Amino acid sequence: MTKCLMSMLPDAASVLALEPEELGGVLLEHFNSMTAQEQFQLNRHNFLMSQEVIGYGRDPQDRLACVFAEAWVWLERECLIALKPNAGH
């Protein structure tokens, strides 16, 4: 069963308080709980536009998108996530 980000980080302030590597760890836990189909559709754009990110509310949305993007890039830089070969994205 997929672990909802909002159950792990209940509010925007919790997300904004984390460093990219800390949020990256939470994202890995979230991604690893996804079904194979959900993982297949996962990419940076889809994730940043997902209800998982937008669900935190409109006011801090731009800041939240930035911290989620920073965490995603940190995961890529550390080679903890990578593009799938032959993926369309």
Asked if 63 contacts 57 with a C-beta cutoff of 8 angstroms, the reply is no
Tell me the whole-structure pTM to 2 decimals. 0.86
The domain tally of the chain equals 1
User: Quick one: tokens of 50?
Assistant: 């997902």
Instruction: Quote the pLDDT of residue 60.
Output: 63
Is residue 39 a part of any domain in this protein? yes
Is residue 29 a part of any domain in this protein? yes
Is residue 71 a part of any domain in this protein? yes
Residue 61 is part of which domain span? 12-77
Is residue 89 a part of any domain in this protein? no
Q: How many CB atoms lie within 10 A of CB 64?
A: 20
What confidence tens digit (pLDDT) does each residue in 36-68 have? 999 988 999 999 888 888 888 766 668 888 999
